């Protein structure tokens, strides 16, 4: 039986936004901010994540990930979000009482400049290894493959984000 080819529009996409790195190299990726968007031509819901590539000396580059949401990618995307430290929360709704309000206002200003109303809140961000294929321009990432027997916990929250995307402007 012939295997059907993978539709590249169903794969995650990465892009180095700033910084210099060697192409075809592995890096530790730490999420900084995430939000929802919609892919323009085919109106696919997306989870967008900007994060730092880390090395021993600190930060080396800023990378943006674009994770398309389809029925067959939902569980893998949710597994990735949870493995990066997302606990189903949105930033505006979960600002800690003891937060530095000046920092909160600065972050809100940054989100506003990006055209983002609300952000996925990575309460306890964790890193994941990420292969950077190109040092400039978008590149396809491999299909997300959760480990066997994984359990997700924030499916209802992801469903709520997807449902709210009807109001999200198209990229």
Query: Got the DSSP string for 16-39?
Result: EEEE---SSEEEEEEEEEEEEEE-
pLDDT-derived band at 6, boundaries 50, 70, 90: low
pLDDT, one tens digit per residue, over 142-159 is 888 888 888 888 888 888
| Residue listed under structure tokens 């990465």 | 14
Cα distances (Å, whole numbers) of residue 151 to 79, 120, 145, 148: 8, 20, 13, 9
Tell me if 2 is assigned to some domain. Answer: no
* pTM of full prediction above 0.85: no
The mean of the pLDDT values for the chain is: 83
> Residue 115: which domain range?
12-166
Can you name the residues that pair with 50 across neighbouring β-strands?
33, 64
C-alpha to C-alpha distance for 127 and 143, rounded to whole angstroms: 18
Mean pLDDT of the region 156-169? 73
Q: In the chain, how many domains are there?
A: 1
């Amino acid at each position: 039986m012939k295997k059907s080819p993978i539709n590249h529009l169903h794969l995650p996409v990465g892009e180095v936004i700033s910084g210099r790195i060697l192409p075809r190299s592995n890096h530790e990726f730490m999420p900084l901010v995430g939000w929802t968007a919609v892919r323009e031509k085919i109106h696919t819901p997306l989870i967008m994540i900007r994060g730092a590539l880390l090395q021993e000396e600190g930060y080396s580059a800023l990378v943006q990930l674009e994770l398309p949401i389809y029925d067959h990618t939902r569980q893998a995307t949710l597994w990735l979000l949870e493995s990066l430290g997302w606990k189903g929360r949105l930033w505006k709704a979960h600002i800690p009482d003891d937060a530095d309000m000046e920092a909160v206002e600065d972050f809100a200003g940054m989100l506003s400049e990006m055209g983002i109303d609300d952000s996925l809140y990575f309460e306890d961000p964790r890193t994941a290894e990420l292969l950077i294929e190109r040092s400039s321009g978008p590149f396809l990432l491999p299909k997300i493959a959760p480990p066997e027997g994984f359990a997700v916990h924030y499916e209802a929250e992801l469903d709520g984000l997807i449902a709210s995307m009807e109001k999200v402007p198209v990229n």
